[in-house]
């Protein structure tokens, strides 16, 4: 019988992240600021990556991401983990250039061939991104974990961050929602990988958009973040807070995978569904009466989720059309308003 990686861990993918509330509480007590003027973006706004200026035309984009298995097949796990790590560079408007692998591997319970298959899957996506793997570090551990530290480049004047959203912008999401509940269902034995193929394909799709858009359209993206373990509302709240605005989401516009709602109805949930709700509940106003499952979609912890883009309204239609050629789930899901009492509003 083939190894089922999700059965070897308690939590999988980005659902295993430390709760955002806990991170803010801990990191808020530590001075993480830098005196170096070349540091353009650090971790204070929970951005997706750091930015370090080299000169007037080049800045480094630096990030690191790793997690436990989110799917059962080692080759697919490698693809998803690599795609997820590379996404942080794309979320800053950058281009990935080099990567270092991070691997914790239980040699006492898994064959070395599993390690090779994970790396082969990762290399497929690293090469697709035009990136180079330079090396890495591995340890023997009781629990399998894999990911990448990625360095990219970006023009310092063209950096995206989560602090640039403007009132009047439209909100575009590039990928459908539901990987948290669907992969919980996979781990619980409710689904096979083939039954959630749409989610796995999405998690394995690079969040690259610069090759689809004109320079004018790229400049019309005022803010960006990738939607991962804190869900749409967690990452949306961080963007709204950093930008000093309110984000309005339309509940019926959120793109979903085929089985997302039925999986939520079957209560395929993770701890992150609850911690994500706790993180944003005091900053969110719900208008109307969306269903329990509709609300859960906003808290669903995504692994290798889509980019949330805050886009100039006059360019949103053309950008959405072009994104749709690669991202089947790309949708206009809301808008940006001047700061109101709550950072997030959900309209039914």
Local confidence band at 116 (pLDDT 50, 70, 90 cut-offs) = very high
Task: Compute CA 262 distance to the chain's CA centroid, rounded to the nearest angstrom.
Answer: 23
Query: pTM of the full predicted structure?
Result: 0.95
Question: In this structure, are residues 117 and 74 in contact, taking their beta carbons and an 8 Å threshold?
Answer: yes
pLDDT (tens digit per residue) in 170-180: 999 999 999 99
> Phi, psi at residue 249, to the nearest 5°?
-110, 140
Residue 1 pLDDT exceeds 60: no
Which is the catalytic residue, given 14, 131, 183, 297? 14
Task: Compute CA 100 distance to the chain's CA centroid, rounded to the nearest angstrom.
Answer: 19
Question: What is the model's pLDDT at position 23?
Answer: 85
Query: Would you call 14 a catalytic residue per the annotation?
Result: yes
Question: What is the model's pLDDT at position 281?
Answer: 96
Let me know the angle formed at the C-alpha of 207 by 121 and 268, rounded to the nearest 5 degrees: 75
9-18, 231-240, 277-286, 313-322: least confidently modelled range: 9-18
DSSP lists the bridge partners of residue 310 as 171, 223
Using CA atoms, how far apart are residues 219 and 93, in angstroms rounded to an integer? 10
Q: What is the set of domains in the chain, with CATH numbers?
A: 5-158 (3.30.1330.10), 170-347 (3.90.650.10)
Q: Of 13, 47, 20, whose CA–CA distance to 234 is shortest?
A: 20
Question: Torsion over CA of 144, 186, 235 and 56, rounded to 10 degrees?
Answer: 50
pLDDT (tens digit per residue) in 182-226: 999 999 999 999 999 999 999 999 999 999 999 999 999 999 999
């Amino acid at each position: 019988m083939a190894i089922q990686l999700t059965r070897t861990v308690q939590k999988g993918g980005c659902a295993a992240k430390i709760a955002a509330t806990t991170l803010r509480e801990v990191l808020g007590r530590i001075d993480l600021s830098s005196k170096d003027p070349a540091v353009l973006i650090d971790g204070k706004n929970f951005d997706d990556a750091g930015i370090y200026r080299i000169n007037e035309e080049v800045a480094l984009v630096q990030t690191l991401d790793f997690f436990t298995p989110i799917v059962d097949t080692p080759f697919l796990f490698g693809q998803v983990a690599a795609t997820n790590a590379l996404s942080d560079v794309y979320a800053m408007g950058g281009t990935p250039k080099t990567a270092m692998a991070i691997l914790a591997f239980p040699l006492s319970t898994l064959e070395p061939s599993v390690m090779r298959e994970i790396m082969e899957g990762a290399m497929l996506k690293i090469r697709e991104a035009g990136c180079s793997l330079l090396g890495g570090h591995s340890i023997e551990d009781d629990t399998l974990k894999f990911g990448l530290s990625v360095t990219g480049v970006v023009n310092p004047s063209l950096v995206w961050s989560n602090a640039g959203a403007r009132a009047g912008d439209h909100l575009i999401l590039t990928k459908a929602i539901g990987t948290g509940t669907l992969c919980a269902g996979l781990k619980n034995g409710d689904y096979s990988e083939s039954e959630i193929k749409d989610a796995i394909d999405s998690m394995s799709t690079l969040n690259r958009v610069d090759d689809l858009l004109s320079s004018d359209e790229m400049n019309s993206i005022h803010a960006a973040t990738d939607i991962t373990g804190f869900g749409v509302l967690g990452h949306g709240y961080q963007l709204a807070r950093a930008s000093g605005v309110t984000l309005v989401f339309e509940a019926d516009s959120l793109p979903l995978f085929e089985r997302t709602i039925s999986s939520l109805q079957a209560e395929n949930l993770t701890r992150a569904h609850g911690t994500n709700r706790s993180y944003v509940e005091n900053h969110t106003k719900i208008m109307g009466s969306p269903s329990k499952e509709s609300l859960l979609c906003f808290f669903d912890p995504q692994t290798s989720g889509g980019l949330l883009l805050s886009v100039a309204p006059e360019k949103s239609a053309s950008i959405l059309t072009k994104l749709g050629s690669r991202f089947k789930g790309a949708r206009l899901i809301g808008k940006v308003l001047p700061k109101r009492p709550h950072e997030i509003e959900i309209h039914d």
